[in-house]
Amino acid sequence: MIFALLSQLGFAYAHRQNPELITNDTWPGVIGSIKTNSVVQYDTNFKKVKAWGLPALAPRPGKRQAYFDYRPVERFKLFLGNLPDSEKPKLPENLDYKKLIKDTINTRWPNVDFFENVLIVFTIPAEYPEQSKMILRECIYNAKLINHPTSEKLQFSTEPEAAAIYCLSVLNEYFLIEDGTSFLVVDCGGGTVDLTTRKLLPDKRLGEITERTGDFCGSTFIDNEFIKFMKFKVGESAMDLLEKQRYSQLQYMVQEFCRRVKIPFTGDEKDFKVIEFDIEDVCPALKQYITGREKEILENDDWIIELTFENVKAMFDPVIKKIIQLISGQLRAGGACTAMFLVGGFSESKYLQSMIKNTFSFIKNISVPKQPQAAIVRGALQYGLRMDVIKTRVLKYTYGIEIESLFNEAIDPEYLRVDGHYIYKFYRLAERGRQVGVDESFSNIFRPLEHTTKLRFSLYISTNLNETYCGGLEKLGELTIDMPDTHLGKERPVEFRLMFGRMEITATARNQVTGQEHNASFKLEL
């Protein structure tokens, strides 16, 4: 069986013998949605999960529940991304984000025996760093869905790549069948928007034309703009108190905004009617926190807040502007493309569609395929069924290792000198922006010091093409090779090989004296 799992809790599955794609659309508290919220509600000691998904996030205000017993934890996946700490959620002191990921998995799939003979394909946003895959491996192993940390029963795909594979299956519907056809996929999700430009190759395989890109500008950032609007209307202190003491009602109000305002909004003023938000009905607890001038105004208005066309448009525009900029960047980097596909839940927004089509009218085919919200999970499933569908990828980083070199007084900084005569430098193996085949590898010959019994490779990554030193670079991990026989001194050449065949990096080292080959495993650097 192939099992595709989204970074949110969406999933799909298929049997190899009868590869019908089955997408789950039933969750606690909601039916008909492809995915649910990655939210967990614990008991007061944060030991036991009481609820997950939408019921943990936004129960109705009328449902009696003491606020001090309500402990929802959400947005913890943001810890996997390269975000400043100020933009990451604050977690309770005794909760770690990796435990949250593990608990979320185990709560949804407590029967771990189900996964014994299952290939899992896990999708992640394009902008997540390399280390996120190793962290997720650790979490999934701790959740016992795989029986070894390096198990090949767990594979990764980026969200835009999975979406591109899904779009590959519908190209015929748009008469895009010629080899060499290029198309841009824009995956507009809740938290992130991810983009990739792909080329159709012989045998219905895909090549990547330029670096996949993405940013945190999904539809939930419109919700953030709504909260800013409410702070202006009722006072910032009132909204802060609501968040601290009646969080469930805050989230219910946001969900009502999505249902009544965000989802139906078309961007055409002719279609719009002023929305009346009755605080007493939608968020009754908010009244007790509103004071001063705001309270006087709302009492005169019978506690009703109006959302005008201009108000709602102003919530959408900053988010859509970022998406337009991302698309422009992809088009500049990848050149002309024949078509653009919009996928993901946010792609169903009529306003977003019209803004993209108006801005990029020179692209004749801008389409939203059927079931755009299911594109990623179904594409990931198709990838699991046929992994050779991807022929090339473009590297997002420059990869290299730390090597010891002779110190050059003319060019090397004095403060980096080691033991008087040496300096550690960055040795490039593969450069950012290079298109690599899935069976391509990068290698070189290295030699240990005379009496050492181990040869250590410290792997670094950089977003720059030209790096000289490792200082300031992100250390991805270490690869250590045992070399117990020291009688040949330095004459023990080792061929180190880095491979990007699938989404995860693998490495091998071959002792050219003995012929023995070592499979090197990463030690995660946090």
- In whole numbers, what is the pLDDT of the chain averaged over residues? 86
pLDDT at position 176 is 82
Q: What is the 3-state secondary structure (H, E, C) of 151-198?
A: CCCEEEEEHHHHHHHHHHCCHHHHCCCCCCCEEEEEEECCCCEEEEEE
**Confidence band, pLDDT 50/70/90 cuts, at residue 71:** low
- Over its C-alpha atoms, the chain yields an Rg (Å, rounded) of 26
- Three-class SS state of 349: coil
The Cα–Cα gap between 340 and 222 comes to 23
353 pLDDT higher than 70: yes
Q: Could you tell me what percent of the chain has a pLDDT over 90?
A: 43
Region 453-479: mean pLDDT is 86
pLDDT digits (tens, 9 = 90+) for 151-170: 889 999 888 899 999 998 88
- Chain centroid offset of residue 63 CA: 34
Under the banding of pLDDT at 50, 70 and 90, the label for residue 72 is confident
**Report for 14-23, 165-174, 424-433: range of highest mean pLDDT:** 424-433
Residue 108's pLDDT is what?
Answer: 80
Q: Once rounded to an integer, what is the mean pLDDT over residues 36-54?
A: 80
Could you tell me the pLDDT band of residue 62, with boundaries at 50, 70 and 90? low
Note the pTM of the prediction, 2 decimals.
Answer: 0.84
Q: How far is CA 130 from the centre of its chain?
A: 11
| Rounded alpha-carbon distances, angstroms, from residue 118 to 112, 141, 145, 386, 390 | 11, 14, 9, 15, 21
Q: Provide the pLDDT confidence category of residue 67 given band limits of 50, 70 and 90.
A: very low
How far apart CA 341 and CA 10 sit, in angstroms, is: 21
The pLDDT confidence band at residue 469, using thresholds 50, 70 and 90, is very high
Q: Coil, strand or helix: which one is 398?
A: strand
> How high is the pLDDT of residue 520?
55
Q: Please, are residues 265 and 350 in contact by the beta-carbon 8 Å criterion?
A: yes
Q: Has residue 64 got a pLDDT over 50? A: no
Most confidently modeled range among 171-185, 319-333, 431-445 = 319-333
388-420, pLDDT tens digit by residue? 999 999 998 999 999 888 899 999 999 999 888
Average pLDDT over residues 56-81: 64
| Phi-psi label, residue 314: left if phi above 0, alpha if psi -120 to 50, beta otherwise | alpha
Closest CA to 25 of 9, 14, 39, 38: 9
Q: pLDDT at residue 66 above 60? A: no
Q: Which of 230-239, 269-278, 291-300, 441-450 has the lowest mean pLDDT?
A: 441-450
Which residues is 366 bridged to in the sheet? 340
pLDDT of residue 231: 96
Whether pLDDT at 461 is above 80: yes
- Does residue 305 have a pLDDT over 90? yes
| Res 499 pLDDT > 60 | yes
- To the nearest 10°, the Cα dihedral for 424, 428, 432, 433? 160
- Phi then psi for 523, rounded to 5 degrees? -100, 115
Q: Cα–Cα distance between 100 and 90 in angstroms, integer?
A: 13
The per-residue pLDDT for range 113-152, each reduced to its tens digit, is 878 888 999 988 887 888 888 889 999 999 999 988 888 8
The DSSP secondary-structure symbol of 74 reads: E
pLDDT band per the 50, 70, 90 thresholds, residue 278: very high
Q: How far is CA 221 from CA 66, 277, 283, 433, in A?
A: 29, 20, 21, 30
How far is the C-alpha of 416 from the C-alpha of 241, rounded, in Å? 52
Q: Which residues contact 147 (CB under 8 A, 6 or more apart)?
A: 116
374 against 352, higher pLDDT = 352
- Retrieve residue 113's tokens: 């025996």
Instruction: State yes or no: pLDDT of 225 exceeds 80.
Output: yes
Query: 449 pLDDT exceeds 80?
Result: no
What DSSP string describes 25-69? -EETTEES-S----EEEE-TTS-SEEEESHHHH---TTS---GGG
To 10 degrees, what angle do helices 309-334 and 220-234 make? 150
